[in-house]
Structure 1
Amino acid sequence: MNDVVAGQRHIRVVLVDDQVLMRTGFRFILDETDDIVVVGEAGDGATAVRVVERTRPDVVLMDIRMPGMDGIEATRRIIASTPAVAVLVLTTFDLDEYVYAALRNGASGFLLKDAIADDLLAAVRAVAAGESVTAPSVTRRLIAHFVNTTPAGAQPDDRLGPLTAREREVLTLIGRGRSNPEIAEDLQLAPGTVRTHIGRIFAKLDLRDRVQAVILAYEQGLVQLGENS
């Protein structure tokens, strides 16, 4: 839960990276803000799980490749034990299999380690607010990955059974990369109605954010190659 100090709500962050210098750099950037506070650090995945259980942060900045337990497994365990925590993956390798696996395990997005300070702060605030963090260029590659790894002819299965016809339409548009205002325009719905539909979709399908919704839309065949534009 966010700290409240002198009337200011603080986003609580745990830093996870096997390089002390990298953690120090991130801490320096985050400590310069008025709304973010670093409440813990870890140099490997196993320690990260313990630190998160003890500190209950809002956001975890998670390195992927670490000795011992890596960031993928740490993300899985953290999300399983503390689902309210948002994990933001940090990587030097752009969109690779490790990042994809972390997103599948519940990460809310990822950021390159050489991102500028403003982008880091914006990403932390976004995932703390329940949003996902994937830049448009990254989202295109992410979608391409889903298309290339989803079996041909995939069809929706029973997991989508709880959705109404309208909710399937909304999920399909999320899979195509549409924003809430664009979905509202496409379906001629009020923005509030779109938000309600999305909330129900996430609740029915146990989705954390739009990243997981995009993954599901492709895996269940709601979206096909060429439909994300």
Structure 2
Amino acid sequence: MASTSSTKLGDERPRAVGRPVPIRASAMQAAAEGAPSALRHKAERSSDDRDENGATFPIDVAIADKSPLILAGLEALLADDRRFNLVLKVTDGEEFLDAAKLQRFQIAIIGWQLPTLHAREVLRALSRQPSAPKIVVYSGTNDPAAPAETLQLGGAGFVSKRAPPERLLDVLASVAAGDMVFPFVDIRKMRADPLENLTLRERSLLSALGSGHTNNQLAKDFGVSINTIKFHLRNLFEKLEVRNRAQAIALFLEMKHGSWTAATPGGRAESAGARGKKASRD
């Protein structure tokens, strides 16, 4: 795996000039005694505040994004809001998943196109993990299906990078309170082409399954071990949302003969064959 950088943020607090003594909450309150009432109110807030929706603050947050600039911007944004406590920064999906297994945080902000492991794979993996953090996808992708896919895969929210930064903070607070926050999603479009997210290898494997090849034959044809074939088959079944080889072959045959249907923007059922003819005309 390519080397990546990560930064884990501990409980770093401002220190006084001179002797390194942490500033305690009581000191902050004393310093604010002569300040305006709004400042005194902020200093006197406990570390276990609740908002009107019942969320308990501060919320431990992790962020994962391929861009160092985005990571720095999110760190600064969260540092200015006492509702959130940034505990982890990573630059790729694989490293984020490893951290999610070891470190507890309630919410994570992740990019859509993460290196080494796409956000789709991250969400799939977290769906099998007990007490997984809630995921908010923060992305500038032009893929109109990304919010719907995030919702389908168990994400808690989706925010465009084109939105004001305050929008992301509002979504994080709502998700912390138990809400799911997404832009408008047409649920009639949510049954996408099941082959869309397959790799070229997985498509070839599915085609070979449809031809009745055994695992031994597949291993010989692809030049890999049987264990590798089993690994790819598990991933294939998961992406197709089927339980076994027979269901995968049945779906493949439906696609091949054009009897599988998906919802179109107008809500009409459209067969795979009809979509292929339409695509050839466009």
Equivalent-residue separation in structure 1 for 2:157 and 2:48 (angstroms): 29
Equivalent-residue separation in structure 1 for 2:71 and 2:188 (angstroms): 32
User: In the alignment, what sits opposite 1:143?
Assistant: 187
- Aligned mate of 1:78, from 118, 126, 147: 126
Read off the aligned partner of 1:145 and give its amino acid letter: K
- How has the CA–CA distance of structure 1 residues 148 and 48 changed in structure 2, closer, same or farther, with 3 Å as cutoff? closer
Are residue 115 (structure 1) and residue 159 (structure 2) matched? Answer: no
After superposition, what is the alpha-carbon deviation per residue over 1:180-212, rounded to whole angstroms, capped at 9, x for unaligned?
xxxxxxxxxxxxxxxxxxxxxxxxxxxxxxxxx
- Aligned mate of 2:91, from 18, 37, 43: 43
- How has the CA–CA distance of structure 1 residues 79 and 38 changed in structure 2, closer, same or farther, with 3 Å as cutoff? farther
After superposition, what is the alpha-carbon deviation per residue over 1:139-176, rounded to whole angstroms, capped at 9, x for unaligned?
3xx33523887xxxxxxxxxxxxxxxxxxxxxxxxxxx
After superposition, what is the alpha-carbon deviation per residue over 1:66-110, rounded to whole angstroms, capped at 9, x for unaligned?
221111101221232144421111121255344433322211121
Equivalent-residue separation in structure 1 for 2:46 and 2:69 (angstroms): 28
Equivalent-residue separation in structure 2 for 1:110 and 1:46 (angstroms): 20
After superposition, what is the alpha-carbon deviation per residue over 1:105-135, rounded to whole angstroms, capped at 9, x for unaligned?
2111211012212101001111111111113
User: In the alignment, what sits opposite 2:108?
Assistant: 60
Stretches of structure 1 lacking an aligned partner (at least 5 in a row): 150-220
Secondary structure at 1:73 match in 2: helix
Question: Does structure 1 conserve the Cα–Cα contact (< 8 Å) formed by 2:148 and 2:190?
Answer: no
Are residue 100 (structure 1) and residue 148 (structure 2) matched? Answer: yes
- How has the CA–CA distance of structure 1 residues 16 and 5 changed in structure 2, closer, same or farther, with 3 Å as cutoff? farther
Alpha carbon RMSD of aligned pairs, Å?
3.0
Secondary structure at 1:52 match in 2: helix
Equivalent-residue separation in structure 1 for 2:181 and 2:138 (angstroms): 11
Greater relative contact order, per chain length (Cα 8 Å cut-off, separation 6+): 1
Query: 80-89 or 9-18, which moves further after superposition?
Result: 80-89
User: In the alignment, what sits opposite 1:25?
Assistant: 73
Equivalent-residue separation in structure 2 for 1:112 and 1:33 (angstroms): 20
Q: TM-score, normalised by structure 1?
A: 0.56
Equivalent-residue separation in structure 1 for 2:142 and 2:150 (angstroms): 13
Stretches of structure 2 lacking an aligned partner (at least 5 in a row): 1-10, 12-44, 50-56, 194-262, 269-282
Equivalent-residue separation in structure 1 for 2:123 and 2:192 (angstroms): 24
Secondary structure at 2:58 match in 1: strand
Question: Does structure 1 conserve the Cα–Cα contact (< 8 Å) formed by 2:65 and 2:91?
Answer: yes
Secondary structure at 1:61 match in 2: strand
Read off the aligned partner of 2:166 and give its amino acid letter: D
Q: TM-score, normalised by structure 2?
A: 0.47
